[in-house]
A = this chain, B = another copy of it.
Amino acid sequence: MTQIVSTNEFVIKFANVNGSGSASANQMFAKGIFRSGVPVSPKNIFPSNIQGLPTWFEVRISEKGYLGRTEGVDIAVAMNPQSYNEDLREINSGGYLIYDSSWKRDFERTDINIIEIPLTKLCVEEFSNPKTRLLFKNIVYVGALSYLLGMDKEIYETLIAEQFKGKEKLIAPNIKALNIGYDYASENLKGSCEIKVNKSEKTKGMILTSGNDASGLGCVYGGATVCAWYPITPSTSLAEAFTDYSEKLRIEEETNKNKYAIIQAEDELAAIGMAIGANWNGARAFTATSGPGISLMSEFLGLAYFAEVPLVVFDIQRGGPSTGMPTRTQQSDVLSCAYASHGDTKHVLLIPSNPKECFEFAAEAFDLADRIQTPIIILSDLDLGMNDWSCPEFEWDDSKTYDKGKVLHAKDLEEIENFGRYLDVDGDGIPYRTYPGAHSEKGAYFTRGTSHDEYARYTEDGVVNARNLSRLLKKYQTASDMVPGPIFNQETNSSPLGVIYFGSTEASMQEALDKLHEEGIVLDAMRIRAFPFNLEVWEFIEDHDLLFIVEQNRDGQMRTLVMAEGGIIPDKLVSILCFDGQPITADFISNKMSSHITGSPSKSASGGK
């Protein structure tokens, strides 16, 4: 029997039953690898269900830093008889299957290595309470894995101690469970696994966290004080992270009161309305949602655009359309966010690619919203938002002050003859605003979604309104200089071919480029980080003869944006589209590009695999 032999480069996939407490254990497993110094990317593939359906947890371990999803599994920890067949199929030849051999069984494949651990039996012997037993089974296999992979068991003991800090009586039984697994493996499974984790230094300066946690923290750092939200997967954990971090970091010491207000609204329409009301009143406020929420929020997005109220909205994209695949990932709200709402509207999008950027863009978004006086939509997705990513540590500059944009306070108003809320005083399309209550005689105005003149007065004069609409376009132009520019994978361009990508696709892109490089294909790559596109984006496109646009949606939505906004020749832009709800893989990208370049006639390499 061949055995896959590998150190610090492999994929392990846990197959569990939803609601059995496995995600925590699996996450701890991944964290242990990270603590060993090896970058990991754990991905929780869960059903839209609470208990009983199959759920998977896929962990890619890569010292090289290739952290995108990849097809094929090296080690399968198959804890769910429901999905045995499926799980078995995915294992690479020479790979390993670990299962609960309390109930022994035969597996059809002969090209893989079966590792048997009688998990239930081990637990029955050691834990009397049948309810807790289920929970510990998960820790037992973590213990066994730590032996099989040649890891330092202490790392997990430390992790358990950290996790149950404050609830110390839970530590001992968990460590016991860990040891049961470890000991069983060391006694029975010596030499049965040739995949190893060796200590490394690659995670130095790195953290393991999710995009949503990072965004929630970014909102705290960015000075958000009001969060109004409505639960929806996969955005819920963002509001929860903001709540948790606020509870830790934002309590007024003297009074024990909150320097923030969080409301679980009655729906998405109310959530965004609250965020708009608060921003209008000078606080920094946001909401977080996913696709269905964006649809419901579109009327209010148009109001905020037209009345020029700052606003931050997180759209953690999931599989659409409609309720779609609520627990799967996609990048399919690009168009509906960019042009949200009826009438001529354009919104500012920020598109982070990793938790560090989630943190930074979240904080930055509030400055941008205040400066541009418009909604800023942060487009993340389920993969980035809910999964833990290995990424560089968060950074902050303590000298940074919040830029609240063009706000006139009482003093400023004293000096102004003629305040006009929508006057383009500076020629950049961005007017000045005042907060309610600022001054007893000056600066009050009427905010409205109806057509208005420079002084915020209602008008039905179409020419005046058209002037205002044109100023909004100018403002949008100004915005393109303020938003984060693109990131290039190369220092200087060296190919007539380019590839454009964005968001969570980053995880697979470098690997794809390297693969192509091995085939002798060199491409320049640009990661778009914001809409409206700035000059660098257009220059990159200008500089290349043919560009791929890699997107995790069906309709090539970013390509549409690029074409529509830039007047780009469509033939120049070739779509690479993945929309099966799984994070896109390097193989998928490189195969599609390579076959296009080396002669496939299809212009659009779409498909859900």
Contact = CB atoms under 8 A, between A and B. Distances in A.
Interface of A: 47-48, 290-292, 294-296, 298-299, 301-303, 305-307, 317, 319-328, 330, 332-333, 335-336, 339-346, 448-451, 460, 462-463, 465-467, 469-470, 473, 553-555, 557, 559-560, 563-564, 566-571, 579-582, 606-609
B554 A326 contact: no
A555 B298 contact: no
The residue in A292, A343, A467, A581 that gathers the most chain B C-beta atoms within 10 A of its C-beta is A343
Nearest to A341: B295
Contacts of A345: 320-321
Contacts of A343: 291, 319-322, 324, 330, 332-333, 336, 553
Nearest to A570: B567
A322 B306 contact: yes
A345 to B, nearest CB: 5
Contacts of A560: 560, 563-564
Nearest to A298: B295
The residue in A307, A335, A344, A467 that gathers the most chain B C-beta atoms within 10 A of its C-beta is A344
Nearest to A467: B608
Given A344-B579, A554-B469, A323 B450 contact: yes
Contacts of A579: 344, 466, 469
B302 A451 contact: no
Contact of A321 (B302, B581, B607): B302
A80 to B, nearest CB: 14
Contacts of A346: 555
Contacts of A554: 344, 466, 469-470, 473
B302 A342 contact: no
A295 B333 CA distance: 15
A319 to B, nearest CB: 7
A462 B608 contact: yes
Given A466-B579, A466-B608, A580-B463, A335 B339 contact: yes
Given A47-B460, A307-B322, A322-B343, 15 more contacts: A295-B301, A295-B302, A295-B341, A302-B321, A321-B341, A325-B450, A336-B339, A344-B555, A451-B581, A465-B580, A466-B609, A470-B554, A559-B564, A560-B564, A564-B564
Contacts of A324: 306, 343, 449-451, 465
A456 to B, nearest CB: 14
A565 B122 CA distance: 61
A551 to B, nearest CB: 10
A320 B333 contact: no
Please give me the 7 A-B residue pairs with the lowest Cβ-Cβ distance, nearest first. Answer: A320-B343, A466-B608, A321-B343, A291-B342, A322-B449, A462-B580, A567-B570
Given A292-B342, A326-B450, A449-B323, A609 B299 contact: no
B333 A460 contact: no
Contacts of A333: 342-343
B608 A465 contact: yes
Contact of A325 (B307, B462, B553, B582): B462
A43 B557 CA distance: 39
28 contacts: A48-B450, A295-B299, A296-B296, A298-B336, A306-B321, A321-B341, A322-B343, A324-B449, A324-B451, A324-B465, A325-B451, A326-B450, A327-B460, A328-B460, A332-B344, A344-B555, A344-B579, A451-B581, A462-B580, A462-B581, A462-B608, A463-B608, A465-B580, A466-B579, A466-B580, A469-B608, A560-B560, A564-B564
